Amino acid sequence: MNVPPSLETIDEIAVSIADIRLSDLGLGGAAVSSALDPMASVNTHAGGGPAPDDVTRVIAIFEEKLDADRVSLDRRSEQVNLAMQLLDRETARYV
């Protein structure tokens, strides 16, 4: 089981790489926990990301477009059916 790193561990790594303690720059344990929590990450993303509000908004837009496409398809299908009926009547006159 993977255990998320503690603030102390992150500080140790930062010191070994960059000779700074991130906690001295204001990084706190809550920020580390939040950054490592996938659901917190999803919920904090803004426009264009997978934020639930944005996804819900985009789904609604596409559902409206889909409804409009269905209406258009129904209309065109009806026109094709009428044209086929006319064609059948005309060809019946010659057969």
pTM of the predicted model as reported, rounded to 2 decimal places = 0.44
Cα atoms in the Cβ-side hemisphere of radius 13 Å centred on 37: 11
pLDDT digits (tens, 9 = 90+) for 63-93: 999 999 999 999 999 999 999 999 999 999 9
Confidence band (pLDDT; 50, 70, 90) for 37? confident
pLDDT digit string, tens, across residues 12-35: 999 999 999 989 999 898 888 888
- CB count, 10 Å around CB of 58? 12
Residue 23 to residue 9: CA distance in whole angstroms: 11
36 and 7 in contact (C-beta within 8 Å)? no
